[in-house]
Amino acid sequence: MSFRVEPGEFAALVGPNGSGKSTLLRILVGLLRPQSGSVRIFGSDPRSLTDRWRIGYVPQRPALTGDLPATVDEVVRAGRLARRGWWRWSNRSVDNAAVDHALSAVELSSLRRRRVSDLSGGQQQRVMIAKALAGEPDLLVLDEPIAGVDAEAQQQFRDSVVHLVEHHRATVLLVSHELGAVAADLDRVIVLKRSVLFDGTPAELTARGVSLGVHADDLPLWLEHLDEGAR
């Protein structure tokens, strides 16, 4: 497969379960080595990228130890440390504003003093999203970030991501089966099943009868049969 995501672009990566979406994301952020071909992020191999803060990555099931003593605020604030480096003095007012914004975006402001280990799995997922947002990355990579999140929280997530794209010219690559909250904001949809079956605008995909809203199990099965002419 071959594709390129431009700076400031909001792209969604979709496809049936087992199509390779999560594997591709792990290759993109340098957690896996590709068997062949090359990957470049900001002109560099992702495994040798020195400015790691430029990438915000939220995996599908983030691993948080059950006895982690840190609070929600402390975990989210760690996203600022990755951006400025541990050896630099922090700008408290700037850091506080970024953390407040990130917590608000995922509707966790009221839980900021709670221990992460006391939260539900869904709430812990939102903590990791907020941590990535707090770092104000140039590239935000999200793997099913809003699965199981209520409609209000999805809308707040949408507002925060759109703000990141429009005001910070960040690039967002989103994997999700629930694109209804962001369907109107996407620049591009890439359909994957071990190869790129479709790469175009949401309007072009919708014209072919594919809804970008919530699906009970997976994207429509006929999506697997898109041919080369749909690219």
Please tell me the predicted confidence (pLDDT) of residue 187.
Answer: 94
**What dotted CATH number matches 10-226?**
3.40.50.300
- Residues (pLDDT < 70) of the chain are 61-68, 84-90, 148-149, 211, 213-231
- 86-132 tens-digit pLDDT: 555 567 888 899 899 889 888 889 999 999 888 877 788 788 888 98
Rounded to two decimals, what is the model's pTM? 0.80
71 near 99, Cβ under 8 Å? no
Please tell me the predicted confidence (pLDDT) of residue 214.
Answer: 52
Please tell me the predicted confidence (pLDDT) of residue 223.
Answer: 54
Give residue limits of the domains in the chain. 10-226
Please tell me the predicted confidence (pLDDT) of residue 10.
Answer: 94
In sequence order, what are the residues at sequence separation of 6 or more whose Cβ sits closer than 8 angstroms to the Cβ of residue 80? 90, 95, 98, 99, 134, 135
- The CB density around residue 84, as the number of other CB atoms within 10 Å, is 15
Please tell me the predicted confidence (pLDDT) of residue 221.
Answer: 46
CA distance 175 to 21: 7
